[in-house]
Structure 1
Amino acid sequence: MPAPPSLTDGLRFAFGTLTALPVGLTRWDRPAARAGMLCAPLAGLVVGALAAVTGLLLLLLGAGAPLAAVATVAVPAVLTRGLHLDGLADTADGLGSGKPAEDALRIMKQSDIGPFGVITLVLVLLAQVAALAQAYDGGWARGACAAVVAAAAARLALTLAARTGVPPARPEGLGAAVAGVVPVPGAVAAALAVAGLAAAGGAFLGTYGILRAVLAVVLAVGVAELLLRHCVRRFGGVTGDVFGGLAETAATTALVVMSLG
């Protein structure tokens, strides 16, 4: 029986699987996966903070909001080696194919990207950039808060998708490694923690900022949950690609909400 994972094991699993940061992944077992998926929002906070710093630096140097928004969107893509975007495209191809689960999963494993994937990628990236540009137009603090909240909400969606009762669609891969590892109480606690941190960040923008940040988290995980349930019905469970699609869906939803008002 594997030894209980330490906090360090959980953080290494989270950062080692969800980012390209060189953390030295040391354990790849179910207990470590459980700790790692509970720590996933922390990886999101770091990614979001780095993205926000990049955007703010460009604003400080005189760049406009659109360029700062592009850079802010690019940082998470680089820090994940584009895996979440690739997962989004593959999930769109699988869902868009209209084929039975086995054939759809085979389409998702192919290395190329089909028309559904391309269209989805273009629209999602455009939405993310446009929403961030709007947020930066509302002030540098609002743009930075949007970047951090979106990144944390995106990884929270992964924590919730890894909860007990959500099956893997394949017996191998990242989806199988993390599917069902997070106890439901732990997933709920993670959601409350992220909502609380979002409220704390939104407090710098006033009362409406608090409500907007919390609403961004709630709607982000809500939309991701709808996609998760649809994927479970269509594919029979989750895959690594589905996790990527959930992260990008949640991030986009959060950014759109943070840009409104």
Structure 2
Amino acid sequence: MLNGLVTALRTLSVLPVPGRDAQRFSDSLYWFPLVGLLLGFLEAGTGWLFMRADWPEFAAFAALLAGVVLTRGMHMDGAADVADGFFGGRNPDDRMRIMKDPAVGSFGAMALVLLFLLKWIVLVRLLALDGYAWIVAGVVLARFVQVCLAAALPYARREGGTASGFVAGAGGGHVAAGLLFTLAALILLIPFPLHYPLLAVMAACATSMLVGLASQRKIGGVTGDVLGASSELVEAVVWLTGALCLLS
């Protein structure tokens, strides 16, 4: 079972981890929210550290940069590929061909700029309002929704791909375990008011559902790029939800 944690850490981060990978990649899905919790604390901690200089704009940039470095920018790359494929392709095969191309097109570039800008603006507000718990919550939920989409939809590429091993073995047990851990983490992170954790989960689920529906319609399932894009979008939406809650 702990081999699944090793695989999850190696898949979702650049953190050096000793040990062997899980025999089934899907076993790592149980650990995705926990890895999200670790990454979230590191990102929020980076923001907190740079906030000692009382410069929320630069602290927000540092937190964003920490997230990119810790994940090798993997999910951002997925978001760019999905934008290029979904908006630039004419049919499912064409869209997946574009998504597989390592070059970033105009749609992908626009998506990255807009996504970075949104996340930076929201992070500035969260850091100014001491919303560190919401930063962590966004990263946790972003990894949890990857488990949900992997379990809910088939792998879109007939020839397989880097994420096919995760999707092929994903099921309700992974979602149930991830949900229990995620809810417990959110309640501990954001205990009051009691409806805040629920709002965070609702925002994440609504966003991932929209991504899943679009992916099913565009390419007939999910890929690693889709899972990465969903993670980035959910992170941004949960952070935005947190900022709005703290302002209210």
Normalised TM-score (structure 2): 0.92
Show CA shifts across 1:17-42 (max 9, x none). Answer: 11111114623543xx2220111011
Rounded Cα–Cα distance in structure 2 between residues aligned with 1:223 and 1:106: 25
CA RMSD of aligned residues (A): 1.6
Aligned amino acid, residue 6 of structure 2: R
In the alignment, is the contact (CA less than 8 A) between 1:149 and 1:217 conserved in 2?
Answer: no
Tell me the equivalent position of 1:3: none
Rounded Cα–Cα distance in structure 1 between residues aligned with 2:196 and 2:57: 22
Rounded Cα–Cα distance in structure 2 between residues aligned with 1:88 and 1:29: 28
Q: Does 1:253 align with 2:237?
A: yes
| Comparing 176-185 and 145-154, the one that deviates more | 176-185
Q: Aligned in 2, Cα 1:186/1:110: closer, same or farther, shift over 3 Å?
A: closer
Show CA shifts across 1:29-79 (max 9, x none). Answer: 43xx2220111011100111001111111112x131111111111111111
Shift of 1:221: 2.5
In the alignment, is the contact (CA less than 8 A) between 1:41 and 1:153 conserved in 2?
Answer: yes
Rounded Cα–Cα distance in structure 2 between residues aligned with 1:186 and 1:194: 12
| 2:58 paired residue among 53, 57, 67 | 67
| 1:212 paired residue among 193, 196, 207 | 196
| 2:176 paired residue among 188, 198, 206 | 188
Tell me the equivalent position of 1:106: 97
Rounded Cα–Cα distance in structure 1 between residues aligned with 2:63 and 2:51: 11
Q: Aligned in 2, Cα 1:213/1:74: closer, same or farther, shift over 3 Å?
A: farther
Residue ranges of structure 2 left out of the alignment (5+ in a row):
none
Tell me the equivalent position of 2:30: 38
| 1:49 paired residue among 41, 55, 74 | 41
Secondary structure of 2:72's partner? coil
Show CA shifts across 1:184-214 (max 9, x none). Answer: 14303312331231122112xx32xx42233
Tell me the equivalent position of 1:22: 16
Secondary structure of 1:172's partner? coil
Q: Does 1:9 align with 2:19?
A: no
Show CA shifts across 1:152-173 (max 9, x none). Answer: 011001111121x521112322
In the alignment, is the contact (CA less than 8 A) between 2:33 and 2:181 conserved in 1?
Answer: no
Rounded Cα–Cα distance in structure 1 between residues aligned with 2:128 and 2:226: 33
Residue ranges of structure 1 left out of the alignment (5+ in a row):
1-5
In the alignment, is the contact (CA less than 8 A) between 2:200 and 2:242 conserved in 1?
Answer: yes
Aligned amino acid, residue 51 of structure 2: L
Q: Aligned in 2, Cα 1:99/1:29: closer, same or farther, shift over 3 Å?
A: farther
In the alignment, is the contact (CA less than 8 A) between 2:29 and 2:174 conserved in 1?
Answer: no
In the alignment, is the contact (CA less than 8 A) between 1:223 and 1:250 conserved in 2?
Answer: yes
Rounded Cα–Cα distance in structure 1 between residues aligned with 2:93 and 2:195: 42
Tell me the equivalent position of 1:159: 147
Q: Percent identity?
A: 31
Rounded Cα–Cα distance in structure 1 between residues aligned with 2:67 and 2:143: 12
Rounded Cα–Cα distance in structure 2 between residues aligned with 1:51 and 1:135: 13
Secondary structure of 1:162's partner? helix
Shift of 1:231: 0.6
Rounded Cα–Cα distance in structure 1 between residues aligned with 2:91 and 2:211: 17
In the alignment, is the contact (CA less than 8 A) between 1:202 and 1:211 conserved in 2?
Answer: no
Rounded Cα–Cα distance in structure 2 between residues aligned with 1:237 and 1:215: 27
Rounded Cα–Cα distance in structure 2 between residues aligned with 1:91 and 1:25: 33
Q: Does 1:115 align with 2:115?
A: no
Secondary structure of 2:156's partner? coil
Aligned amino acid, residue 153 of structure 2: V
Q: Aligned in 2, Cα 1:105/1:10: closer, same or farther, shift over 3 Å?
A: same
